[in-house]
Each structure stands twice: as C-alpha cells, then as structure tokens.
Chains A and B, each alone.
Chain A
Amino acid sequence: GAVVSQHPSRVICKSGTSVKIECRSLDFQATTMFWYRQFPKQSLMLMATSNEGSKATYEQGVEKDKFLINHASLTLSTLTVTSAHPEDSSFYICSARGRTGELFFGEGSRLTVL
C-alpha cells in the first residue's frame, strides 16, 4: 500500500520552543493531508485539514496560531507547534488521502515538552 512517513518519530523540547514535524507521502501525490492528535487511550482527534497550495482548515477548538500547518508540495505537509508547553505533549499523526479515498497514516510523532 501507499507509504506515508513522519519525521521525527520522537522529539523532546523545552517549554517555549517551536517544533516542526514533517509528513511525506513517499510513493504518491497527496493534495490533501490531515493532522491528528492522539491522547493516551483515546481516539484520534482531527486537528486540521492540510490542502496543497492553500491555507489549512482547522477544527473547532484548535489554535491555528499555535499549530502552524504548511502544505507546500504534493508530497509534504509540515506541522509546527509554536511556543510549545507541556500540555502540548502528545502523539501527533498525519495521514494522506490516496487516489481511491482511503487514508494512509504516518507512524506518528511523539512530542514531549519539558
């Protein structure tokens, strides 16, 4: 199946710094990518829809100034957590929509903010 890769898989940062997470579709072009946040023992919460060449669409309650999303090419979307705080610590997962409509998921990135 299609491959989606996230980097880094784990990142630890100090409070107040910014962290960038990359999501790449390795063998297909993805005009639409999605960013999710997964809390321990809970489901995936959709944060935003990333559209190539246009602004991301954020879900209600998600701060767009804190979670900056850029989808500059058909194979790359980035999520930047700005001025990170301990409550931003979480597992962030991206996905890309394949040609037939299903989503392919990245491995996830675990962010720990000290």
Chain B
Amino acid sequence: AQSVSQHNHHVILSEAASLELGCNYSYGGTVNLFWYVQYPGQHLQLLLKYFSGDPLVKGIKGFEAEFIKSKFSFNLRKPSVQWSDTAEYFCAVSTSGTYKYIFGTGTRLKVLA
C-alpha cells in the first residue's frame, strides 16, 4: 500500500533560518506530489505541486521542493523563513491516473520572531 512519511513532526526555527522538511513516499509507479500548508485556523492551501518535468518546483511564498525519484523523496525548502510561515505542512502523493491523495502526518513549524 502507498504511504507517505514526514520525518519531522515539530520544527522550531528562528526567523531568517533555512528550512528543509522531509517527505518520502512508497510507491513504485508514476506519482504526482504536493505540499499543502495549513495556517492556524485556516483551511489547507496548495504550496506547490509536481506532475512532471523539472524536478525542482517553485511554489508560492518562496517555497520550493525537489523531486528525487531515486530516493522517493519530495523535500520542501525555503532559504529564509519568516514568522508568518508558522503553520502545519503536509506532503501528499497521488498516483498518476487517480486523484486519491495520501497525506503524510504533517510537520508543525514554529518560527520565532
């Protein structure tokens, strides 16, 4: 069965620090990959997505993610975080041809001002 692992459950950073959140999935076929963010009290919003092409994907608010097929990974990065990035981040995977998403357990990021 497919699964998605997010290894960092809680991350605390100071403003201007660099961020990398890990995401690994288990599925041997073609996948679509997503990162969603949930700000406190708000609904899930799409940060970025990968369907095909350039494995380095740029999203909103300065976030980017790199798909490394050999490692089954899709890690999220941001060079310099801001206090407003405090939120919960979810990695999700869907297999090509289906629209059923499997979510990771989420990473709670707290950025200290």
Contact A34 B90 (CB under 8 A): no
- B51 in contact with A101 (CB, 8 Å): yes
Interface residues on A, range: 20 to 34
The 0/1 profile, CB within 8 Å of A marked 1, for residues 90-113 of chain B is 101010000111111110000000
Main secondary structure of the interface of A (DSSP, over half): strand
**B32 contacts the other chain (CB 8 A):** yes
Partner of A43, one of B42, B49, B104: B104
Whether the pair A93, B43 counts as a contact (CB closer than 8 A) is yes
Chain B residues at the A interface, C-beta cutoff of 8 Å: 32, 34, 36, 42-46, 49, 51, 90, 92, 94, 99-106
What residues make up the interface of A, taking CB atoms closer than 8 Å to B?
1, 32, 34, 36, 42-44, 46, 49, 93, 95, 97, 101-108
